[in-house]
Amino acid sequence: MTENISKLRIEGGTPLVGEVHVRGAKNLVPKAMVAALHGSTPSTLRNVPDLSDVEIVTTLVELHGAKVDYDRDAGVLTLNPAQDATTAAKNAEEIQLFGGNSRIPILMVGPLLHTLGTARIPNLGGCKIGDRPIDYHMAALRKFGAVVEKDDETGTTLIVPEEGLKGAEIVLNYPSVGATEQVLLTGVRAKGKTILRNAAIEPEIIDLIAVLQKMGAIIFINEDRTIVIEGVDELTGYDHTSLPDRNESASWASAALATGGDIFVRGADQKDMTAFLNQFRKMGGLYEVTAEGIRFTHPAQHTPGAQLKPIVFETNVHPGFMTDWQQPLVVALTQAKGASIVHETVYEERFGFTNALKQMGADIVVMRDCVGGAPCRFEGKGYGHSAIISGPTPLTGADIEVPDLRGGFSHIIAALAAKGTSHVSGVELIARGYENFEEKLKSLGANFEVLARKASKAPKPDAAIVVVEPEEVEVQD
Ligand SMILES: CC(=O)N[C@H]1[C@@H](OP(=O)(O)OP(=O)(O)OC[C@H]2O[C@@H](n3ccc(=O)[nH]c3=O)[C@H](O)[C@@H]2O)O[C@H](CO)[C@@H](O)[C@@H]1O
Ligand SMILES: C=C(OP(=O)(O)O)C(=O)O
């Protein structure tokens, strides 16, 4: 990953038609890289996409002394886990500076406690879709026996007590994906048994468990979503192929509906997308599952004039409708004939992106009530976490600033669906979750011009020692 698009001019109104290739999951690959830190031997990860979240974790593990080699074309990443305390201490400032670009750094704490005996609680980045607390993570680490060595304005440092980290019994008030991964990545090397109740069981979690099991871990997944981990003394490296990114696959499917197009997503896997495919079909979308991927088609491609239908659904933990799918699908719902309702129950503030859609002409009302579903955790808390989308409404081009990864993709497909010209800035955020974005848009026939590019933020450890905001370079015709 070197240069990302940062500014685009988009001429909307052209249906996206063609094929894109979706590789490994953004929500598994960086975690599998963190798991490799436990290994006594190097690991090989396959189907690795060229994403900034992968680059961020590459830089972070190298700042701790590990070594990463990545063949972008082959999608093969090898990680030599030989981290050491001296290197980590020397790079402590860059590690802290650099942590705030994704959700992953907090997951490095467990492996680093086991290998280096100490770890700092990092700043975190990620989509701005709610408070995104880490209280479950901190409670779990304390349960394993981690001790706060320092807690001041520079941050919190944990250390391992003399007796080491021990298995614990942990109950999650909410099946948090990150907290489940925290317990997995810490419990596998803790002494004794760890019992995690109310765990998340997303496909990416199951894939991470497969990675850990290949390394030598002993992990049970019970029918009541309790995970039991028997700590082991040693874990070795793994050879693993990541599951495909169901969130990117669903994003392109929504783009096909929003623009009236027809997109074959090579690599899409039906079994991880059941809840999405049901709603896609209820909207009148057509899909065809093949061994190589899934073809997503707007009904008007088959029946001229056919319109999308409104739907009512809520997001939830797996196997419910994945929250990362809702934003791109909301763009398609602006083109459905009638009123749709979306109840977002995972994040309290995931409808901020609709402001730009309303600026483009969409009819969306965001409400504080739990609309269209049973009362959720956010009932009566004043969060705008339900949306009523009435359509079809013609969208017109606008000047847009990308707010975050998934909201940004939604803005771009809205601009592609709109009539007229849109100028979109902050597009570099898209690289967190969509590799080869420019090539994909081109292959789908999108009418756009790149106005500026930006280098990735991630200086290699042997390059600039401070994370600098790279210059935005205007593209000359
Ligand atoms: C890098 C990655 O894998 N990101 C995914 C991960 O994010 P992430 O792991 O951050 O998501 P969580 O499942 O932890 O967060 C969901 C909700 O859990 C609650 N919570 C979580 C942790 C905690 O310590 N305290 C707490 O209260 C919050 O209400 C939060 O809104 O899972 C989310 C839910 O599937 C996805 O949207 C993200 O794409
Ligand atoms: C919320 C998302 O990602 P992250 O947790 O990395 O912010 C997402 O992928 O939609």
Summarize pLDDT for 368-405 with one digit per residue, the tens. 999 988 999 999 999 999 999 999 999 999 999 999 99
Beta bridge partners of 343: 314, 386
**Which are the catalytic amino acids?**
127
* H or E element that contains 219: strand 218-221
What single letter denotes the amino acid at residue 298? H
Residues 260 and 216 in one domain: no
Asked if residue 471 belongs to a domain, the reply is no
- Residues facing 396 on adjacent strands: 419
Q: Are the C-beta atoms of residues 274 and 318 closer than 8 Å to each other? A: no
* Domain shared by 313 and 424, yes or no: yes
* pLDDT recorded at residue 477: 58
Residue 462 assigned to a binding site: no
Q: Is 406 labeled as ligand-binding?
A: no
Ligand 2 centroid from CA 406, angstroms: 7
Range of the domain at 184: 26-239
Asked if 306 contacts 333 with a C-beta cutoff of 8 angstroms, the reply is no
Could you tell me if 232 and 249 lie in one domain? no
State residue 19's pLDDT score.
98
CA 311 – ligand 1 centroid, Å: 25
**pLDDT value at residue 464:** 44
* Per-residue confidence (pLDDT) for residue 4, from 0 to 100: 85
Q: What pLDDT is stored for residue 299 in this prediction?
A: 98
What's the pLDDT score for residue 466?
Answer: 44
Q: Are residues 30 and 17 in the same domain?
A: no
474 within domain boundaries: no
pLDDT for residue 430: 94
Q: In terms of domains, do 395 and 341 share one?
A: yes
Give ipTM to 2 decimals.
0.99
d(CA 167, CA 160): 13
Q: What is the pLDDT of residue 2?
A: 59
Residue with CA nearest ligand 1 atom 9: 178
What is the helix (H) or strand (E) element at residue 383, kind and residue range? none
Which residue, judged by its Cα, is nearest atom 4 of ligand 2? 126
Which atom of ligand 1 is closest in space to residue 318's alpha carbon?
A: 35
Structural domain tally of the chain? 2
Where a domain ends, among 208, 239, 270?
239
CA separation for the pair 88, 94 (Å, rounded): 10
Domain identity same for 12 and 146: no
Kindly give the distance from the C-alpha atom of residue 126 to the centroid of ligand 2, in angstroms, as a whole number: 6
Residue ranges of the chain whose pLDDT lies below 70: 1-2, 457-469, 477
Q: Is the CB of 323 under 6 A from ligand 1?
A: yes
267 and 159 within one domain: no
Cβ burial of 170 (10 Å; 0-12, 13-18, 19+) is buried
Per-residue pLDDT tens over the stretch 257-293 = 999 999 999 999 999 999 999 999 999 999 999 999 9
Cis peptide before 244 (omega within 30 of 0): no
Is residue 475 a part of any domain in this protein?
Answer: no
- Amino acid 457: pLDDT: 62
d(CA 317, CA 85): 37
Distance CA(176)–CA(203), nearest Å, equals 13
Determine whether the shortest distance from the Cβ of 177 to ligand 1 is under 6 A.
Answer: yes
Exposure of 281 in the CB half-sphere (CA atoms within 13 A): 9
Residue 340: both structure tokens together: 């749709």
Ligand 1: does its nearest atom lie under 6 Å from the Cβ of 136?
yes
Q: What is the pTM of this model?
A: 0.96
Q: Whose CA is nearest to atom 7 of ligand 2?
A: 126
For tokens 């991927």, name the residue.
Answer: 293
CATH number of the domain encompassing residue 128 = 3.65.10.10
- Name the token pair of 271: 């079994």
Which residues sit opposite 386 in a β-bridge?
343, 367
